[in-house]
Amino acid sequence: MTLTLEDFPPGRLGTFGPRHVTREEMLAFAAEFDPQPMHLDEEAAKRLMLKGLSASGWHLCSLMMRMMCDGFLGRTASMGSPGVSEVRWLAPLRPGDDLLLDVEVTEARVSKSRPESGIVTFKGVVRNAGGEALCEMVSPIIVRRREGGA
C-alpha cells in the first residue's frame, strides 16, 4: 500500500540500511562531482584536515537520499521536495563503512497552497558501523493525502 501524509505522524519513523560503501564508488563519485584531493588522492588526503580518504559530503547526502528511497520513499506518494533546511557534515565517511540511517518525522501538516497534499519534515541522522554520527539532514518532502482527504 502506498504511504500518504496520514502515515507520517511526528515521531520516530525507523532505521534503514545497512548500506556498505566501497572505496571504488567513493572514488568514482569524487571523480565525477567533487575531485578534491581529500576525496580522491589517498596519499594527499593523509596530510589534509580529515586525515585520510573521505567521501564527498554530496556523495553522503546522495546515499542518504537513496537509503530514504529504499527505506520508505519508494512506496510513498511523494511529490518532490522544496529544499533542505540544513545539512551538517559531522565526521568523514571512510572507505568500507557500513551506513545506518535513523529517520524521525519532526513535523507533518496539510499544505495551504495544495490542500490535496501535505509537507512532512524528516530529520535523518546517518551513522557508521561504529555508531558515530556522520551527517544530519533536515528536509521537507511534499506527500499526497489519502484519497478523499481527512
* Residues of the shown chain interacting with other proteins in the complex, contacts defined by CB under 8 A: 32-38, 48-50, 54, 56-58, 61-63, 65-66, 69, 73-74, 78-89, 92, 142
Q: Tell me the HSE value of 99 on the side-chain side, using a 13 A CA sphere.
A: 31
Given a contact cutoff of 8 angstroms between Cβ atoms, the answer to whether 89 and 135 are in contact is yes
Min separation Cβ 28 and other proteins, Å: 10
Nearer to other proteins among residue 12 and residue 22 (C-beta) = 22
Nearer to other proteins among residue 70 and residue 102 (C-beta) = 70
Given a contact cutoff of 8 angstroms between Cβ atoms, the answer to whether 51 and 43 are in contact is no
Min separation Cβ 60 and other proteins, Å: 11
User: Could you tell me which residues come within 8 angstroms of residue 29 by beta carbon, excluding any fewer than 6 positions away?
Assistant: 55, 56, 58, 59, 62
Q: Three cell numbers at 83?
A: 529544499
Given a contact cutoff of 8 angstroms between Cβ atoms, the answer to whether 124 and 89 are in contact is no
Nearer to other proteins among residue 43 and residue 86 (C-beta) = 86
Nearer to other proteins among residue 38 and residue 108 (C-beta) = 38
Min separation Cβ 70 and other proteins, Å: 8
Min separation Cβ 49 and other proteins, Å: 6
